Amino acid sequence: IACSNTGGVCSNTYASGAEVLLTAAPSVDYDFVGWSGAGSTCTTAPTCRTTLTSAQTVKATFRRKSYSLSVSLNGSGSVVSAPAGINCGSDCSETYVGGTSITLTATAASGYVFSGWSGSEISCPGTGACTVNMNKGRAVVASFSPVATTNYTLQISSSGSGTVTSTPTGINCGSDCNESYASGTSVTLTATPASGYTFSGWNGGGCSGTGGCT
């Protein structure tokens, strides 16, 4: 007997009373589960010793190994897998059948950029998708970096008597006439004249007329 899933010699004739020792050897990424079949008295050991007092059919069962893939996040973002299983933030580990190819895709949260992959025995340079072969347990780290933010100062000056306030808050001029805002922020200014005054208009910052100034 020299039998495999691709063929070989899987049957033989022996003299009555012959004692036959069968040995199961799993392939890479497989575990031996056990023996079964008519006349078999063997269980989960990789060797099966049987005495032939009649014809026997013995089955050896093998099962693919499973390995754990875990993802951790450094910074703010998420990672999903194809095939499905990983959705990290919320679900950051999954067990896959040995030999499965898993593709991980990272998405940065608002205000962050994805800066790359790291982890035990993976090769995923750059910031594209990361494909890992599950022939062993894997641990992957996805790193996200804050986006550099430029701030600009908005300064208000006035003539006559009244106040200017802003949305979002920050300016309340009279008392607070300048504020720093992140680049790209849209700030709306509202002018309110004091008693006995009327608002006569804006100049500077691209604003004119007597309505709101954005």
Q: Could you read off the pLDDT of 166-208 as tens digits, one per residue? A: 999 999 999 999 999 988 889 999 999 999 999 999 999 889 9
Q: What are phi and psi of 73, to 5 degrees?
A: -110, 135
- Bridge pairing between strands 188-193 and 162-167: antiparallel
The one-letter amino acid at 98 = G
Whole-angstrom distance, CA of residue 158 vs CA of residue 139? 60
Does this model's pTM top 0.85? My answer is no
Distance CA 20, CA 91 (A): 50
DSSP state of 15: -
Q: Please classify residue 69 by burial: count the beta carbons closer than 10 Å to its beta carbon, then call 0-12 exposed, 13-18 middle and 19+ buried.
A: buried
Q: Which two tokens stand for residue 145?
A: 């970096």
Ramachandran category for residue 53: left, alpha or beta (phi over 0 → left; psi -120 to 50 → alpha): alpha
Structure tokens at 122: 């993976």
What the block records as the tokens of 40 is 């078999």
Q: What is the 8-class DSSP label of residue 194? A: P
Checking DSSP bridges between strand 178-182 and strand 30-36, what pairing results, if any?
unpaired
pLDDT at 38: 60
Structure tokens at 201: 């208009």
Mean pLDDT of the residues in the chain: 91
Q: Which two tokens stand for residue 146?
A: 């804050």
Determine if the peptide bond prior to 174 is cis (ω within 30°): yes
**Lowest pLDDT segment from 37-41, 118-122, 193-197:** 37-41
Highest mean pLDDT out of 47-56, 109-118, 147-156: 109-118
Burial class of 130 by CB neighbour count within 10 A (0 to 12, 13 to 18, 19+): buried
